[in-house]
Structure 1
Amino acid sequence: MHVAIDARLAHYTRGGIARYTLELARALAEVGPRHRFTLLRSVRQRSGLPCASNLSASPLLTPPHHRWEQLTLPIELARLRPDLLHSPDFIPPFRRPCPAVITVHDLGFLRFPETLTAESRRYYGQVGRAVQSAERTIAVSRHTAHDLVELAGAAEGRIRVVYNGVSPTYRPIEDRTLLADVRARLGLERPYILFLGTFEPRKNLPTLVRAFRAVRARHDILLALVGRRGWLFEPLFELIDRLGLRDDVRVVEDALEADFPAIYSGATAFAFPSLYEGFGLPPLEAMACGTPTVVADSSSLPEVVGDAALLHPPTDYEALADALIRLLEDEPLRATLRTRGRARAAQFTWTETARQTLAVYREALAV
């Protein structure tokens, strides 16, 4: 079986879909040595892609989300002649020379259309047509599968739930010198509560900032916001200034992905108050690193974390503050969540994701 995987997004972002694509490709090459995989990469990307004897790359000039991709991708597929196309960014070419599998990570653009630019709404608005066109659709959680049926009109029988994995690099870092070096470089000189992700409305960071103000009144601790500015980030920074928290909130936008395990491991607690997630990888990564975690009781997050994290109503900053204070003041609770979190995260591996994805490929080819 020869599978083409659209990996162009990996050149433009290290966000969730790009990370999914690269981790999955690496694992597919390992668990499917008899199969051949071709990554459709941006012509500008010359490094950072996984390597294996059965994994190659083919450059494409058209960037992802571009109107021309509906024309140029079929031409490239006709040249490569794969048996199957996998579109992790879930909008495949609708006229194509081979079957397609798409992965839908979430439907936040339908739940919260106001959080997207007009161009993004145009692009992702094709999801209904995409799920009708694809031979099989992978949903990264049961919650996303439900949303596909409810919001996008997908046929339930063509959806397969395949959870994401956690890279083995996410584990507790116990090297004190390494932890101290990372903290010094990032300005985290005091104990800190961590958020890691994109600064955008859906992540609900104003609720975390308001909760942190209550926590800070009782504890000498920092809030570390690690990630990148997304859509409509400005109100978040204005709120930090308005609440007088500039000296206690560290905004870190230049952290290396290689430092993420140490950043997670060094945190006293990890908070993820997102309003909507199709899966929610950062909480699992934090738990894999042994960091006690609090997440919003919303969308897929309870499904993913199980009983290994504390939950709070999504927009209730007082409840989030109470949960964080409990973690800071209750060592037995922290110990319990460390143990449960590592056990829970260990259930999600990219190897298993790849095995199940190969099974979906076979189904799509048999249609």
Structure 2
Amino acid sequence: MVWLGAYPQSGRELVEDIFTDCFGFSVRHFTKNTGERLKYEDNTLYTTNNLPDEVPAHGTKKIFIVRDGRSANTGLVLNALSNLGSKKTFDDIFYESLVASNRSYFGGWKEHTKQWSKESGIILRYEDLIKDFKKEIDRLAEYLEVEIKKYPETLNDYRHPKETDWQNHLTEYNHDLFWAYNREFMEKFGYEYNGELRDQITGIDYDILQKLGVSQNTSHHQKAILIESNKLLMHQNDGVKRYLIELLKALYQTQKTENSPWKIDLLITGKVVSLREYGKTAFDSEKRKNNFNKLSKILFKLNNGLRAVVSDKKYDSIKGLYKKGVVKIGLKPFKNIARVIYVIDRALKGKKTAKDNYTSNIVNLDLSHYDLIHVPLPQHYEPFKNTSSNFLLTVHDLTHKKLKNYHTRRNIQLAEKGFNHFIEKETKFLSISNSTKKDLTDQYDIDPQRVHTVYEAANNDAFKPELNSNKLEFISGKYNIPDKPFLFTLSTLEPRKNLINTIKAFELLLKNHPQLDINLVIGGRKGWKVKELSNLKNLSNIYFTGFIDEGDLSSIYSRALGFCYISFYEGFGLPPLEAMSCGVPVIFGNNSSMKELYTGYGLAADPSNVEEISEKMYELVENNQKTNELKLKSLKRSFDFSWSKTAIETLSVYDKLTVE
């Protein structure tokens, strides 16, 4: 009983012919699950273009064949276009295939590839099959434990997928859109942005590499890494927590096979948890998905129902109350009740606080067997006061030194104690930008050789141009964003983010150009020292959304004319990269890491100069040629960053610091 999964135009027919000719198998193609029990026959290959959970393939051996997604997807679009005639354009079908809503287009290339890669026991790359078919046939025979009846002299007489020449069908922008949606798995299988094929496939998804037959490092000494992860328990999803989650998610790929050269554990509230076990729950679980969730679907249907039964005039007046009532008022009490129940439960059971647990449990742990302990925040130094080990500390910024007015005294003291502790321990440092590395070596007189720079990244899965018009409309309604052009800014509402000057610049923009019909949308939770901002909430054309769920951000980024992030200082400045990943041009503060990362890909402005910020806003709003140029540049620049790349470079640092 053998199943073959393949996205359309990926080589399914070629593998069918190989099975018939080389193994003597018969072939049956499966297109739709009718609910009837499939009667399996010996020496039969069952093939399908469906997703694995749509076929009755449980308990069978599974094969997956993958082809460069640009060729496969272009072939699929061309076939659909020929069937539909003039009803839709190439671009219409292409965009639909990227979104692949409600599992249309076989789930889309990425989702199809992701699911079959996980379910299959062996993966064939179409290009490898063409290059060295005997080697791939040998791999198949070994996996299936069958005898090869004969080798073909050539594959010329076998059926092949359509030669699509995707370079002549995809515009530059459409190619970049495809890459934005699919690059994670394109890179995993060795497909390069420039169209080249990487013969030597590398990466950290050891499970996929093993299924492709790629030989891996089988070092006898498995290096043990401990990552301090107490930040995972914090309610607020700040930059450090997001860094930790995304890094762990990427490193988790190295833990899925037994022969990984890395053994990575997490230290959470004084307890050691393996990343492999943590990842199964946190990253593999379907419950974690936030993709147009059930609440969103329900509210979207209610919205359409409301539109159908009332006039447009009444709809507009009711809509605001409806959204506030259902979304903002409806959810908040349940969250507050849950928090109260949690606090009362801990008090009744006499449970310690997280900090008490952390401090007491760490004393009883033996951490001496770890080759390296990675701490993602200097303020988390306390558990390691009496621990002698090989440490690596991630440094996100030096705001407690450079911008003391924007910190509480307690936070400055805690950060200072943390840095001094790790410096005394002769710790090595991992900086998230070269700018932060320079700040660190300048402020603490640290040898630059002790500091390694590894850039952060935006979540490629969450941040990409949103093409689903229904979702764009719904998310805008959810946060009460009017249906008109807007500039967007996102940050914790605090002085360092320079929202006051951003607002003043926007007011100046409207004063100097009263003909503009445009809004400023400000997203983010309250920080500290926000009294002055509160006085500005009643200004016309300015909308405060409050906290925005990460799953909704790409829709708001994608709708914006431009993104304003004119901060006084950033250790990295992740929101501009998120916006660029959605194809949105950025105005950024001409300082610190932002100057390092975004110069040439956006518009730089002096954060203290309101007139200059206003001029950059006008340039984005009125200069369509410049804006379109920056959209393309922004999206391309985002391709230089990925969490997979961050994880690979972080592992390289681990390797250097744990030389035997």
Q: Give TM-score scaled by structure 1 length.
A: 0.89
Contact 2:563 2:587 in 1 (8 A): yes
| Matching of residue 101 in structure 1 with residue 392 in structure 2 | yes
2:486 pairs with one of 163, 177, 192: 192
1:206 is aligned to 500
Matched residue type, 2:542: V
Number of the residue aligned with 1:141: 433
Unpaired runs of 5+ residues, structure 1, are 44-48
1:141 deviates by 0.6
Secondary structure of the structure 1 residue equivalent to 2:459: coil
Which string of whole-angstrom CA distances, capped at 9 and with x for unpartnered residues, describes residues 245-294 of structure 1? Answer: 1x322112232111111111111110001100010000011001011110
| Aligned residue among 23, 27, 30 for 2:253 | 30
TM-aligned CA deviation for residue 53 of structure 1: 9.5
* Residue among 627, 634, 641 paired with 1:334: 627
User: 1:313/1:147 Cα in 2 relative to 1: closer, same or farther (>3 Å)?
Assistant: same
Find the counterpart in structure 2 of residue 39 from structure 1: 266
| Equivalent pair of 1:172/1:265 in contact (CA under 8 Å) | yes
Counterpart mapping for 1:146-185 below 5 A: 146-168=438-460, 169-185=462-478
Instruction: State how far apart, in whole Å, the 2-side matches of 1:233 and 1:4 are.
Output: 38
Partner of 1:216: 510
What is the distance in 2 between the residues matched to 1:88 and 1:301? 21
TM-align CA RMSD: 2.7
Compute the displacement of 1:31 (Å): 4.5
CA contact (8 A) 2:398 2:571 kept: yes
Q: CA deviation at 1:81?
A: 4.8
CA drift of 1:313 comes to 0.9
Q: 2:403 — aligned with what?
A: 112
- Secondary structure at 1:131 match in 2: helix
The match for 2:533 is 236
Distance in 1, matches of 2:439 and 2:650, equals: 20
Compute the displacement of 1:225 (Å): 1.2
* Residues 162 and 357, structure 1, Cα contact 8 Å, conserved in 2: yes
For 1:21, the equivalent position in structure 2 comes to 244
Q: Cα distance 1:253–1:80, how it changes in 2: closer, same or farther (>3 A)?
A: farther
Structure 2 residue 239 is the aligned partner of structure 1 residue 11: no
Distance in structure 1 (CA, Å) of the matches to 2:386 and 2:438: 27
CA distance in 2, matches of 1:55, 1:285: 21
Separation in 1 of the partners of 2:572 and 2:472? 28
Aligned partners of 1:83 and 1:54: how far apart in 2?
A: 25
User: Deviation of residue 54 (structure 1)?
Assistant: 12
CA contact (8 A) 2:269 2:361 kept: no
TM-superposed CA distance for 1:302, in Å, is: 1.2
1:84 maps to what in 2? 372
Deviation at 1:187, TM superposition (A): 1.1
Identity %: 26
The SS at the match of 2:446 is coil
Aligned partner of 1:283 among 552, 576, 584? 576
**Alignment partner, residue 51 of structure 1:** 279
Could you tell me how far apart the structure 2 residues matched to 1:274 and 1:293 are? 12
- Between Structure 1 and Structure 2, the one with more helix by share is 2
* TM-score (norm. length: structure 2): 0.50
Judge conservation of contact 2:521–2:543 (CA < 8 Å) in 1.
yes
Aligned pairs (5 A) from 1:229-308: 229-238=526-535, 240=536, 245=539, 247-308=540-601
What does residue 166 of structure 2 align with?
A: none
Whichever structure has more strand as a proportion of its residues is: 1
> Is 1:321 aligned to 2:614, yes or no?
yes
1:7 Cα offset (Å): 1.9
Amino acid of the structure 2 residue aligned with 1:112: L
- State the number of aligned residues: 353
Partner of 1:46: none
**1:107–1:76 distance in 2 versus 1, CA, 3 Å:** farther
Superposition map of 1:58-69 within 5 A: 63=354
Could you list the runs of 5+ residues in structure 2 that have no partner in the other structure? 1-222, 271-276, 285-350
Higher relative contact order (CA 8 A, sep 6+): 1
Matched AA of 1:51: G
- What is the rounded CA distance, in whole Å, between the counterparts of 1:308 and 1:139 in structure 2? 22
- 1:325-367: CA deviation from partner (whole Å, max 9, x where unpaired): 1110011111111111011111011111111111111222239
Are the equivalent residues in 2 in contact too, given 1:84–1:99 (CA < 8 A)?
A: yes
Q: 1:55 to 1:312 in 2, by over 3 A?
A: closer
Distance 1:284 1:154 in 2: 29
Q: Residue type of the partner of 1:224?
A: V
Supply the distance in 2 between the matched residues of 1:323 and 1:67 (Cα, whole angstroms): 50
C-alpha change, 1:343 and 1:200, in structure 2 (3 Å) is same
1:64-87 superposed Cα distances (whole Å, 9 cap, x missing partner) = xx5996x54743652695332111
Task: Name the SS for the 2:366 alignment partner.
Answer: helix
